[in-house]
């Protein structure tokens, strides 16, 4: 009795706010790909802003410290931005798992056919499989980056007290100079570049912005964007440690 009463109540709320179509849309594969495209493009925007700030490491310690201190002085805005970024990342991650799970279920009946008619091995993997695999690597890289820079919890890195004027630059330099970080960060951003090279273009396709006339251009822009982001971030662990010598 309670279940039957709750269901009409929930349906009534959805009808009242006109949200029934929205939840139906999100439950469809098209809706999930649409939202994943939006969240992906917004995360791409964050990458551009984040890279721009980190490239100040090449300008001077003063510029980078001023940038970092300015961000942390805006505590309320920073909290809102970090929460929004976390929600975007979580939504993108969830939809990636949901899409991968849906694709896996759809391929169950075709498994035997694929075994006999398609090439075997690593290169036979579908784009969605590659995207899921590269996304998993990026997730691990992001977790390490948060441990390194946000929580400063790496036991093998000596951090400067965060209240020290030169702390942002000194701590960034300490992280990027760590041998483990240099290797993991370089590999991580290369895999990120691969992920972006396909994901950026796919986002426009999921939004319905694919056309024989414009699709090749979008793919080239996607590759250039991926290369710029990967090269920019890779330059940090490769070149920044030499600044302290």
Domain ranges of the chain: 21-244
Model pLDDT, residue 19: 58
What is the overall mean pLDDT for the chain? 85
Predicted confidence (pLDDT) at residue 32 exceeds the cutoff of 70? yes
Cα radius of gyration rounded to whole Å, the chain: 22
If one compares 175 and 29, the residue with the highest pLDDT of the two is 175
Predicted confidence (pLDDT) at residue 66 exceeds the cutoff of 90? yes
Burial 47-82 (b: 16+ CB within 10 A, else e): beeebeebbbbeeebeebbebbeeeeeeeeeeeeee
If one compares 18 and 77, the residue with the highest pLDDT of the two is 77
Considering only CA atoms, which of 143, 186, 177 is closest in space to residue 157? 177
Considering only CA atoms, which of 43, 131, 33, 27 is closest in space to residue 87? 43
Give the pLDDT band of residue 151 (cuts 50, 70, 90): very high
Predicted confidence (pLDDT) at residue 10 exceeds the cutoff of 60? no
If one compares 214 and 142, the residue with the highest pLDDT of the two is 142
Model pLDDT, residue 1: 45
Longest CA–CA separation in the chain, Å: 74
When pLDDT is averaged across residues 135-140 and rounded to a whole number, the result is 94
Q: Residues 185-231: pLDDT tens digits?
A: 999 999 999 999 999 999 999 998 887 888 999 999 999 999 999 99
- From 72-76, 109-113, 205-209, the region with the lowest mean pLDDT: 109-113
If one compares 56 and 120, the residue with the highest pLDDT of the two is 56
Extended strands (E) in 63-142? none
If one compares 13 and 34, the residue with the highest pLDDT of the two is 34
Considering only CA atoms, which of 42, 71, 43, 78 is closest in space to residue 56? 71
Considering only CA atoms, which of 124, 127, 128 is closest in space to residue 99? 128
Q: Are 132 and 96 in contact (CB under 8 A)?
A: yes
Q: What helix, strand, coil percent values describe the chain, rounded to 5?
A: 85, 0, 15
Query: Over pLDDT 90: what percentage of the chain?
Result: 63
pTM given for the model: 0.84
Query: Over pLDDT 70: what percentage of the chain?
Result: 80
Burial 94-132 (b: 16+ CB within 10 A, else e): ebbebbbeeeeeeeeeeeeeeeeeeeeeeeeeeebeebb
Model pLDDT, residue 245: 65
Give CATH for domain 21-244: 1.20.1300
CA pair distance 173, 99, nearest whole angstrom? 38
CB neighbour list of residue 107: distance below 8 Å, 6 or more residues apart:
114
Predicted confidence (pLDDT) at residue 6 exceeds the cutoff of 50? no
Give the pLDDT band of residue 109 (cuts 50, 70, 90): low
CB neighbour list of residue 85: distance below 8 Å, 6 or more residues apart:
43, 46
Give the pLDDT band of residue 125 (cuts 50, 70, 90): low
């Amino acid at each position: 009795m309670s279940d039957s009463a709750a269901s009409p109540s929930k349906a009534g709320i959805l009808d009242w706010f006109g949200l029934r179509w929205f939840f139906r849309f999100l439950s469809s594969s098209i809706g999930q790909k649409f939202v994943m495209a939006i969240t992906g493009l917004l995360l791409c925007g964050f990458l551009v802003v984040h890279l721009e700030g980190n490239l100040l490491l090449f300008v001077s310690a003063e510029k980078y410290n001023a940038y970092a201190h300015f961000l942390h002085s805006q505590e309320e805005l920073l909290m809102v931005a970090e929460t929004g970024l976390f929600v975007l990342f979580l939504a993108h991650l969830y939809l990636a798992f949901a899409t991968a799970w849906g694709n896996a279920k759809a391929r169950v009946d075709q498994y035997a056919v694929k075994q006999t008619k398609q090439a075997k091995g690593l290169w036979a993997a579908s784009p969605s499989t590659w995207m899921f695999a590269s996304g998993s690597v990026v997730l691990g890289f992001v977790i390490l980056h948060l441990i390194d820079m946000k929580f400063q919890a790496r036991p093998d890195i000596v951090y400067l007290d965060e209240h020290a004027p030169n702390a942002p630059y000194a701590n960034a330099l300490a992280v990027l100079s760590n041998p483990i970080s240099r290797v993991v960060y370089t590999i991580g951003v290369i895999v990120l570049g691969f992920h972006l090279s396909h994901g950026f273009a796919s986002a426009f396709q999921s939004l319905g912005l694919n056309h024989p006339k414009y699709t090749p251009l979008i793919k080239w822009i996607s590759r250039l964007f991926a290369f710029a982001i990967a090269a920019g971030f890779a330059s940090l662990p490769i070149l920044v440690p030499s600044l302290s010598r």
